[in-house]
Structure formats: structure tokens, C-alpha cells
């Protein structure tokens, strides 16, 4: 299954499989994950990160957050294998789980470019409210908006060197969205 190509430029590519996992229940995924409210420090100011998160995988640090190593739970293993088959890659080693409680929760422009993360393919799965996922070239500022809905799978392939991505606030969204980002460690 090839998916829709939503961005393709040189080696960089994003593919989307709309509704591929639509049979899954948002509420069940919310219950399965031990959510955590982290504090982040940006430009010397510390505040609650505007989303809840959980991490499974080797020890990992992003922004000012230190995640200890944690096993990927059995509930995520079937999904991991499914994604690996879809994307023709080995099963992923790590999963970052994000819960956006409503449209006020968001993620600013960033890249997943930590040295230990393999940028060849990152798989993102969304459940719940539809939200705009934005991608922007770091130099040309050319941008893409990909609405991600319930059950959508999105691949980010060789994207992290030249592109930033973000999930902006949306005042009119009053329902939760859950996102799982599967990564390979190297």
C-alpha cells in the first residue's frame, strides 16, 4: 500500500494513509498510556508543556525533558509491527505518545533531529480530533498543511534535516487528539 504522497522533494517525503487505523478507539488508547505533564524551559521561562506525553524506548532527552529507558508495552507491539510492514522497515525502537486535550494544546516548530534518532523514517499515528500538521522548509519557508484525522498514518521520510514541523493551536477544536510517533534509534 503506497499511501498518498503529500510532500516529495529530493529524498524528503511524507506519505499519508487516511483512516487506515480508523477502527481503533481513541478512548482505549487514552486509557492504555500512563500520561505525564512535563515542565519545559524555553528562553529561560519554565511552564507546563501544552500537551500530555509518555515515552517508551531507550533513554531520551528533548527540549529540557529527560525520559528514562522504558520497555515498549505489549499493547503497542501489534501496531509497531503493522507500521513496520506498511513502511517496509524494521519494527521501531521507541514511541513518543502525545495527548492534545483540545485545540489549546499544541507543539511548536521543531525537528526530530537528535543524533540518536534515525531520520530515514518516522511513523506518526493519529486518533481523535482532526488537527492540522504543518511542515516547513527551513530555508525556503515553503510550507505544507496536512490535516490529520482519526486513524491516519503519516510517514516522515528523510525530513528532519531540511524541514521543521508543528501542530499549531486551533481555537475551535474542543476534542482530544492522540498522536503516537514511532522512531528508530541508531
Ligand X SMILES: O=C(O)CCC(=O)C(=O)O
Give the interface with ligand X as residue ranges (CB under 6 A).
Answer: 96, 98, 107, 112, 124, 133, 165, 167, 179, 181
Nearest CA-CA partner of 183 in 102, 104, 67: 67
Distance in Å, CB of 124 to ligand X, minimum? 5
Alpha-carbon distance values, 180 to 70, 99, 141 (Å) = 15, 9, 26
Distance in Å, CB of 146 to ligand X, minimum? 9
Q: How far apart are CA 145 and CA 136, in angstroms?
A: 9
Q: How far apart are CA 176 and CA 108, in angstroms?
A: 18
Distance of CA 150 to the CA centre of its chain: 14
Residue appearing with cell numbers 512535563: 38
Q: How far apart are CA 108 and CA 69, in angstroms?
A: 25
Q: Which of 9, 62 has the CB closer to ligand X?
A: 62
Distance in Å, CB of 156 to ligand X, minimum? 9
Distance in Å, CB of 107 to ligand X, minimum? 5
Q: Which of 23, 125 has the CB closer to ligand X?
A: 125
Q: Which of 65, 84 has the CB closer to ligand X?
A: 65
Q: Which of 67, 133 has the CB closer to ligand X?
A: 133
Amino acid at each position: 500500500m503506497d499511501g498518498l504522497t503529500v510532500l516529495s522533494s529530493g529524498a524528503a517525503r511524507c506519505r499519508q494513509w487516511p483512516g487506515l487505523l480508523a477502527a481503533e478507539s481513541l478512548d482505549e488508547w487514552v486509557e492504555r498510556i500512563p500520561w505525564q505533564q512535563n515542565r519545559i524551559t524555553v528562553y529561560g521561562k519554565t511552564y507546563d508543556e501544552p500537551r500530555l506525553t509518555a515515552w517508551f524506548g531507550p533513554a531520551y532527552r528533548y527540549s529540557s525533558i529527560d525520559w528514562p529507558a522504558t520497555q515498549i508495552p505489549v499493547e503497542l507491539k501489534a501496531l509497531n509491527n503493522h507500521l513496520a510492514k506498511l513502511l517496509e522497515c524494521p519494527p521501531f525502537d521507541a514511541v513518543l505518545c502525545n495527548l492534545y486535550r483540545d485545540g489549546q494544546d499544541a507543539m511548536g516548530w521543531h525537528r526530530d533531529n537528535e543524533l540518536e534518532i534515525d531520520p530515514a523514517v518516522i511513523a506518526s499515528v493519529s486518533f481523535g480530533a482532526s488537527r492540522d500538521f504543518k511542515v516547513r522548509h527551513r530555508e525556503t519557508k515553503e510550507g505544507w498543511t496536512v490535516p490529520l484525522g482519526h486513524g491516519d498514518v503519516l510517514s516522515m521520510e528523510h525530513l528532519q534535516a531540511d524541514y521543521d514541523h508543528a501542530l499549531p493551536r486551533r481555537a475551535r477544536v474542543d476534542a482530544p487528539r492522540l498522536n503516537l510517533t514511532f522512531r528508530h534509534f541508531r
